[in-house]
Chains A and B, each alone.
Chain A
Amino acid sequence: MFALNPNSRQASRAAWVALHYSNYHGASPSGLRALRHVMKVSAKMIADVGVKYYLQFATEDYISGQETGNCFATVLYQKKSKPEVNIKCARTQDQKQIQEEDRRVFQYLRHQTKPITANKIPDSHGNIEHALLPVWALAVAGSSHIMLDKSKENVGYFLAQIRTAKQWIRKDGAVEFEYTILLHKTPTQEMDLCYMNVLWSLHQVLTAKYICASESHQLDDGSGQEFGSAAETLHKKGGNFLQGLSASHTRSMGKLCAQPEAAITFPSKPRYSKRE
């Protein structure tokens, strides 16, 4: 076991990994946390397995920035699979109040008669329409799953922006959203594009499925040439997952992803839209 500098990049990265875990598994868009600062950290090499971090850190509410109490966590970076996390946090906020807020958000989303669709959350200037805050929060919770899966001891992620969000009205009472999101990866500084489907039913059940075009460099000159190969990868990787979606969903992905503007130019006819 060796002590590390709490300011070190390894410490804050590991603390974020622990928060990705709790933000996803907490299944509570009203109770998301962000890292404030790491107070203590040590690490241990475990032969044939990986490195395990022991952390104590302060957190704040992801959306309001209010202090939300300290966490203790362990993060085990494994050579062969995603990081394994244990985390326990003190709560300075009223737990009942958060649950009540989640319920309110859930009902609000569930009772939309017209499905919500939106582009760019936040927009270029950081604005989020009040009505879209829950859509953002749900994406934070869902993308935490992706970021947890992809994080490594020397690679970290942040949700940079939601490019598109589209709700699916369901008859079973759950809330479903389709997203395309950009993840900011450090230290490579790339923006990874992911497609993500988030399903939320109350009582702490939230699942996110995703495909990322991570090996490409999407931030090209906008000609879209590079994304052609990325879409191919996306298509191949997503084979099984896409079969699980209904025909109408799959059809819509083509439209959803065909954002004409800005950093990412999808091919005009995404190949994966023709799967049905």
Chain B
Amino acid sequence: MEEIYTWMAHIQNNSELVTQHYLGKTVENRTIYYLQISQPSDKNKKIIWMDCGIHAREWIAPAFCQWFVKEILQNYETDPKIRKFLQNLDLYILPVLNIDGYIYSWDTARLWRKNRSPHMNGTCYGTDLNRNFNSSWGTVGVSYNCSSEIFCGSGPESEPETRAVVQLIESKKNDILCFLTIHSYGQYILTPYGSTNTPPSNNEELMHVAQTAAAALMEKYGTIYEVGSTSLILYSNSGSSRDWAHMIGIPFSYTFELRDKGTYGFVLPDDQIQPTCEETMLAVTTIIDYVDQKYFPGGAMILTSGSLGLSLCLTAVLTLIVP
């Protein structure tokens, strides 16, 4: 974790695009920072949010957030795709949300999942932060027993880590178009909801975009990702950040479950980190691209002028036919 703090400070000092911001404090009083990548502009931009490391043992997730930032900064000048969406969108990246748990998984228990809040006079530890959000909190796929791995906390947003995310997202929610939360393992792109089988109003579009993203991902190394609603293809859960983000009005909200399918699970080998990041990058940029095109359609110059030409032609033809 020290390395990640150092990396964040370093990257802020070495790029004009990146600024580090305070998000909040953890139970053990560590500071949570997020990175903002934005190109200077006087335009009113929208926001893409991505968080990693809400579950401590899913080490590939923080690795991906760092990879993502590195790739954007390395390529924004040369990659027209990135250059284009950065004109309209700011990227908010939270490399590790559950810092206490993450450190605990390095130092003490590799397979630790939750945060490190003490309960019952310190006889048991940890709330599952991804059951702690205020979205049908405590209704399904949770436990009220603090020794459970899916303990949902003493109430919605009972944990400081949860509140830190909520506070920022609430304050910017009118500008946030997309909420991505990165986990492992299983190879899924999951849509809302986990707490009910009733699909969200924009389900068709959510599914379509996720399927396009999964197809882009597969092109790199042939890795198969399954796409679908959380309650259908993973399991029912309540109080997740993904459900909450969609419920407060963020239209594109997805959970990624990165490699693998269960052979190594949480202890993904080093030699799979880079390929995992590379392929996931393609999926994530596909989603961002779609969001960009949808909300800032002016950027698609060729398509627009082409169709404009066509309609002018048609008008001309029609004028000829109907004098």
Shortest A3–chain B CB gap in Å is 14
A34 and B264 CA atoms in complex are apart in Å by 11
Q: Mark B260-293, 1 if CB is under 8 A from A, else 0.
A: 0111111111101000000000000000000000
Q: Mark A95-131, 1 if CB is under 8 A from B, else 0.
A: 0000000000000000000000000001111111000
For the complex, is A188 an interface residue (Cβ under 8 Å from B)?
yes
The residues of B that contact A263 with a CB separation of less than 8 Å are 108-112
Which residues of chain A from 209 to 257 have any CB-CB distance to chain B below 8 Å in the complex? 217, 219-222, 225-226
The residues of A that contact B242 with a CB separation of less than 8 Å are none
Q: Mark B86-116, 1 if CB is under 8 A from A, else 0.
A: 0000000000000000000010111111000
Number of interface residues of A (CB under 8 A): 39
| Minimum CB distance partner of A261 in chain B | B108
| Minimum CB distance partner of B124 in chain A | A220
Known: A124-B110, A217-B147, A225-B123. A160 touches B233 (CB 8 A): no
Q: Are B237 and A187 in contact (CB under 8 A)?
A: yes
Shortest B75–chain A CB gap in Å is 28
The residues of A that contact B113 with a CB separation of less than 8 Å are 189, 219
Q: Are B124 and A221 in contact (CB under 8 A)?
A: yes
Most chain B CB atoms below 10 A, which of A36, A62, A190: A190
Q: Are A8 and B149 in contact (CB under 8 A)?
A: no
The residues of A that contact B268 with a CB separation of less than 8 Å are 126
Shortest B191–chain A CB gap in Å is 12
For the complex, is A186 an interface residue (Cβ under 8 Å from B)?
yes
The residues of A that contact B234 with a CB separation of less than 8 Å are 9, 187
Shortest B192–chain A CB gap in Å is 16
| Minimum CB distance partner of B264 in chain A | A126
For the complex, is A158 an interface residue (Cβ under 8 Å from B)?
yes
Q: Are A126 and B108 in contact (CB under 8 A)?
A: no
Task: Give the contacting residue for B267; candidates A123, A189, A220, A221; CB below 8 A.
Answer: A123
Most chain A CB atoms below 10 A, which of B227, B233, B267, B272: B267
| Minimum CB distance partner of B116 in chain A | A221
Chain B, interface SS category = loop
For the complex, is A85 an interface residue (Cβ under 8 Å from B)?
no
Chain A, interface SS category = loop
Known: A7-B233, A225-B123. A122 touches B147 (CB 8 A): no
A190 and B149 CA atoms in complex are apart in Å by 6
A181 and B226 CA atoms in complex are apart in Å by 29
Shortest A191–chain B CB gap in Å is 5
Q: Are B267 and A34 in contact (CB under 8 A)?
A: no
The residues of B that contact A220 with a CB separation of less than 8 Å are 124-125, 147
A226 and B106 CA atoms in complex are apart in Å by 22
Which residues of chain B from 215 to 271 have any CB-CB distance to chain A below 8 Å in the complex? 224, 226-228, 232-237, 261-270
A180 and B267 CA atoms in complex are apart in Å by 17
Shortest B211–chain A CB gap in Å is 11
For the complex, is B141 an interface residue (Cβ under 8 Å from A)?
yes
For the complex, is A93 an interface residue (Cβ under 8 Å from B)?
no
Known: A9-B233, A220-B124. A62 touches B270 (CB 8 A): no
The residues of A that contact B128 with a CB separation of less than 8 Å are 189
A226 and B145 CA atoms in complex are apart in Å by 14
The residues of A that contact B110 with a CB separation of less than 8 Å are 124, 161, 262-263
Q: Are B111 and A161 in contact (CB under 8 A)?
A: yes
Most chain A CB atoms below 10 A, which of B111, B112, B124: B111
Task: Give the contacting residue for B266; candidates A160, A186, A190; CB below 8 A.
Answer: A160
Known: A187-B235, A189-B149. A125 touches B109 (CB 8 A): no
The residues of B that contact A126 with a CB separation of less than 8 Å are 264, 267-270, 272
Q: Are B267 and A122 in contact (CB under 8 A)?
A: yes
A8 and B233 CA atoms in complex are apart in Å by 4
Q: Are A7 and B226 in contact (CB under 8 A)?
A: yes
Q: Are A188 and B111 in contact (CB under 8 A)?
A: no
Shortest A221–chain B CB gap in Å is 5
For the complex, is B150 an interface residue (Cβ under 8 Å from A)?
yes
The residues of B that contact A226 with a CB separation of less than 8 Å are 124, 147
The residues of B that contact A139 with a CB separation of less than 8 Å are none
| Minimum CB distance partner of A264 in chain B | B109
| Minimum CB distance partner of B60 in chain A | A126
Q: Are A188 and B228 in contact (CB under 8 A)?
A: no
Task: Give the contacting residue for A7; candidates B149, B227, B262, B263; CB below 8 A.
Answer: B227
A188 and B113 CA atoms in complex are apart in Å by 12
Shortest B168–chain A CB gap in Å is 27
Q: Are A34 and B263 in contact (CB under 8 A)?
A: yes
Q: Are A35 and B233 in contact (CB under 8 A)?
A: no
17 example contacts (A-B, Cβ-Cβ < 8 A) are as follows A5-B228, A7-B226, A7-B228, A9-B232, A35-B261, A36-B224, A37-B224, A122-B269, A124-B106, A124-B267, A126-B268, A126-B269, A127-B270, A190-B148, A217-B147, A219-B111, A263-B112
Those 10 A-B pairs whose CB atoms lie nearest each other, nearest first: A126-B269, A263-B109, A189-B149, A187-B235, A217-B147, A158-B262, A126-B267, A124-B110, A7-B226, A7-B233
